[in-house]
Amino acid sequence: MIKFCKSENHYTMKEECHGLRTKTAHPPKFSIEDKYGKYRRMAKINKE
Ligand SMILES: [Zn+2]
């Protein structure tokens, strides 16, 4: 899992970096897939 260090704005694999806990980085790919999933669900609702 790729993490993001907000202290120095860089990606890392570590749980902690520069004395802060890192945040999980969500690659843009995931949000795009989620968007398509949303449209699929909407299309299904419109069909029914
Ligand atoms: Zn860092």
The tens digit of pLDDT for each residue in 1-48 reads 899 999 999 999 999 999 999 999 876 665 555 666 677 777 776 666
d(CA 12, CA 31): 20
Ion ligand 1 residue ranges (Cβ < 5 Å): 5, 8, 17-18
Identify the pLDDT of residue 43: 73
Ligand 1 centre and the CA of 34: distance in Å? 28
Q: Which residue type sits at 28?
A: P
Residue 13 burial class via C-beta count within 10 angstroms: exposed 0-12, middle 13-18, buried 19 and up: exposed
